[in-house]
Amino acid sequence: MSRVPALVASGISKSFRAVQALDDVSIELHHGRVTALLGDNGAGKSTLVKCIAGLYQPDAGRIFVQGAEHRINSSRHARELGIETVHQTLSVIDPLDVAENLFLNREHTRGGWLGARIGLLDKRRMREECAATLARLDIRIPSLRRSVGSLSGGQRQAVAIGRAVAWGQRIVLLDEPAAALGVEQTQRVLDLIVNLRDQGVAVLLITHNMDRVLAVCDQAVVLYQGRICAEVDVADVTKDDLVSYITGARTTA
């Protein structure tokens, strides 16, 4: 596995008029590791993810992917660099089936240039590749022909994460992926995160649940009022330690 970080965000600053959302924030993501991004509401977590994902342009700072510097100017550019994001509000289309969601905006067509022009989908190829991707991630869906709207919350989240992995395969950013899920569905999502780590994907996980951090994360970066206040190996801390960093009672910075 490459020792070059999958992604480095260095000195990222971002303000919204008088509000300094991020102030000189730096973070590294490594292949085969899950990094928790922690902080209270308003600490700057989602802003940092949106800067990495190309949705926001930082006021200052540099972003490196696989050692090369890039100015990520759109979500499409981020995807081209192998960065996929699963936001808290799922971007799945309920009436479409599983394969159609997995290939959303990247559909395979048939019939040559004319088929591509009129949008004639190669659904058989899409289902075959979708099945292979889900199997690799140990995601079990009863039927790829079912509409996503008919699936459970955990299955719908798994489809969104599966799509991110299918196209990213390097870096996956997860913003509260188990929000509003039940206990069993949450465990399936956590198992999927471990599966991603074991396959060498660099994962950034935003969560407010410290038990999930201790269960699946290798390191934690904590933001407090837009600045990093702690960077720790999860194996070296307790839940109480993490809470004290989040509330600003302690710092390692």
135 contact partners, CB below 8 Å, separation of at least 6: none
238 contact partners, CB below 8 Å, separation of at least 6: none
Q: What does the pLDDT read at residue 33? A: 96
Structural domain includes residue 54: yes
Structural domain includes residue 16: yes
Q: What does the pLDDT read at residue 88? A: 66
Mean pLDDT calculated for residue range 93-102: 87
Q: Mean pLDDT for the chain?
A: 87
Residue 238 phi, psi dihedral angles, 5° rounding: -110, 175
pTM over 0.85: no
Q: What does the pLDDT read at residue 177? A: 78
Strand partners, 190: none
Structural domain includes residue 218: yes
Mean pLDDT calculated for residue range 164-168: 69
For 26, 88, 158, 198, the CA distances from 192, given in Å and listed in that order, are 27, 16, 8, 10
| Contact indicator for 184, 16 with CB cutoff of 8 Å | no
Share above pLDDT 90 across residues of the chain, in percent, rounded to a whole number: 47
Domain coverage including residue 42: 7-246
Q: Which of 3-12, 151-160, 234-243 has the lowest mean pLDDT?
A: 151-160
Q: What does the pLDDT read at residue 253? A: 64
Q: What does the pLDDT read at residue 252? A: 82
172 contact partners, CB below 8 Å, separation of at least 6: 84, 85, 86, 161, 164, 165, 196, 201, 202, 203, 204
Q: Which of 53-62, 92-101, 111-120, 211-220 has the lowest mean pLDDT?
A: 111-120
Q: Which domain CATH number covers 137?
A: 3.40.50.300
Structural domain includes residue 44: yes
Structural domain includes residue 222: yes
Structural domain includes residue 2: no
Q: What does the pLDDT read at residue 237? A: 95
Tokens of residue 117, six digits: 């022009």
Tokens of residue 166, six digits: 């299918």
Amino acid identity at 201: V
Judged against a pLDDT cut of 80, whether residue 93 lies above it is answered with: yes
Number of domains in the chain: 1
Amino acid identity at 82: G
Q: What does the pLDDT read at residue 168? A: 57
Structural domain includes residue 21: yes
Q: What does the pLDDT read at residue 94? A: 86
| Contact indicator for 214, 205 with CB cutoff of 8 Å | no
Structural domain includes residue 1: no
Judged against a pLDDT cut of 90, whether residue 32 lies above it is answered with: yes
